[in-house]
Structure 1
Amino acid sequence: MKYKNAKNILPKELLEEIQQYTQGDFIYIPIVGDKKMPWGEKNGTKQAIYDRNENIFKLYQEGYSIHEIVKIYNLSESSIRKIISNIKKQSSQLGLGGLTNE
């Protein structure tokens, strides 16, 4: 983000109006239509983690041991157990056998 002096870009009347609220401070003026997206949606991180967790659960269902899954995904045993537990909980609440993409 580049610093711009409001005195050089805003009409005098608008600058005087803004000065009634703040003077000498840095302010951020958002882009029109700049809506904050939920975490991880813009860069695909949320989907990547969802896919990873779904694959972990599928391996578990196929009979892989927790220890084998730990080695494959390089996550802690407790992380793998939490992922499996959360998916089981979601599945039982929804009456499904796997993940739901919510």
Structure 2
Amino acid sequence: MSKQTITEKLPEELLVELQKYVPGEIIYVPKPKKDYQKWGVNSGGRKKIDYRNTLIKNGFNNGRSIDQLADEYFLSTETIKKIVYSKK
């Protein structure tokens, strides 16, 4: 998020209109919903977690217990259950 003055971004008429509602205040203008991305898409974090979850599911399907997987991946048994029993 870059900081620019509003006079650099908006037409004069819109600036005057905004001053009627929020004079001298800082406001945040969110992106349109269509431009949102899910968590971790840009950083690659989502891919890493999906890969880890695949390994956990494979381990469970190959006979590893939930307790073993929790110890191996440093997650709670409840989290492991959510992963191995999810439809995804």
Shorter-chain TM range is 0.5 to 0.7
Per-residue CA deviations over 1:3-53 (Å, capped at 9, x if unaligned) read: 63x46x46755543432343111134568xx92212222222222221111
2:36 matches 1:36: yes
CA distance in 2, matches of 1:13, 1:67: 63
Question: What residue number does 2:66 align with?
Answer: 66
Task: Please identify the structure whose Cα radius of gyration is greater.
Answer: 1
Q: TM-score, normalised by structure 1?
A: 0.60
Query: Cα RMSD over matched residues?
Result: 2.9
Count of equivalent residues: 85
Q: Please report how far the alpha carbon of residue 70 of structure 1 lies from its aligned counterpart in structure 2 after TM superposition.
A: 1.4
Structure 2's unaligned 5+ residue stretches are none
Question: What residue number does 2:79 align with?
Answer: 79
Question: What residue number does 2:55 align with?
Answer: 55
Question: What residue number does 1:19 align with?
Answer: 19
CA distance in 2, matches of 1:71, 1:58: 16
> 1:79 aligns to what SS in structure 2?
helix
* Change in 2 beyond 3 A, CA 1:77/1:13: closer
Structure 1's unaligned 5+ residue stretches are 91-98
CA distance in 2, matches of 1:43, 1:15: 35
Q: TM-score, normalised by structure 2?
A: 0.68
Q: Which sits farther off after the overlay, 41-50 or 69-78?
A: 41-50
Identity among equivalent pairs (%): 35
